[in-house]
Amino acid sequence: METQSDVAAVRQTVMVVDDIPANITLVGETLRDDYKVIAASGGILAIELVQRYPPDLILLDIMMPDMDGYAVCRWLKQDPRFAAIPVIFLTARDGSEDEVYGLQVGAADYITKPLNAAILRSRIRTQFALSNAYRKLDEYRLQLEKRVEEEVAKRQLQEKLLQQRSRMAAIGEMMDAIAHQWKQPLNAISMNTQMLPLDWQDGRVDAAYIEDYLTRFNRQLDHLNHTLTEFRSFFRPDKALQSVDLRQTLESVLLLMTDELRSQRIHCYLLPQQADEPPLLVHGIANEIKHIFINLIVNARDVFSERLSESREIFFTFSHSEAAVVVTVCDSAGGIPEAVIPHIFDPGFTTKGDQGGSGIGLYLCRQIVNKNQGELTVENGERGACFTLKLPLPERQLTEAI
The pLDDT of residue 231: 63
Chain-centroid distance, C-alpha 59:
49
**CA 56 – CA 13 distance, rounded (Å):** 5
Rounded to an integer, the average pLDDT of 242-252 is 87
Chain-centroid distance, C-alpha 244:
25
Sign of CA dihedral 231, 232, 236, 240: negative
Rounded to an integer, the average pLDDT of 329-357 is 78
Most confident of 218-232, 263-277, 314-328, 340-354: 314-328
Phi-psi category of residue 349: left, alpha or beta, with phi > 0 → left and psi -120 to 50 → alpha: beta
Average pLDDT in the chain: 83
The pLDDT of residue 37: 94
Buried b (16+ CB within 10 A) or exposed e, 185-197: beeeeeeeeeeee
133-185 per-position pLDDT tens digit: 988 998 999 999 999 999 888 888 887 777 677 666 666 666 665 665 576 67
**CA 379 – CA 352 distance, rounded (Å):** 19
φ and ψ of 337, to 5 deg: -55, 140
27-72 per-position pLDDT tens digit: 999 999 999 999 999 999 999 999 999 999 999 999 999 899 999 9
**CA 247 – CA 144 distance, rounded (Å):** 48
pTM: 0.48
Check if CATH label 3.40.50.2300 holds for domain 4-115: yes
**CA 336 – CA 385 distance, rounded (Å):** 6
- The arrangement of secondary structure in 240-402, i.e. its CATH architecture, is 2-Layer Sandwich (3.30)
Buried b (16+ CB within 10 A) or exposed e, 128-143: beebeeeeeeeeeeee
Question: Helices in 82-205 by DSSP H: which ranges?
Answer: 96-104, 117-201
Domain with CATH 3.40.50.2300 in the chain: 4-115
Neighbours of 264 (CB within 10 A): 16
Sign of CA dihedral 375, 376, 380, 382: positive
The SS3 assignment for 58 reads: strand
Rounded to an integer, the average pLDDT of 336-352 is 80
Domain with CATH 3.30.565.10 in the chain: 240-402
Sign of CA dihedral 273, 276, 277, 279: positive
The pLDDT of residue 2: 40
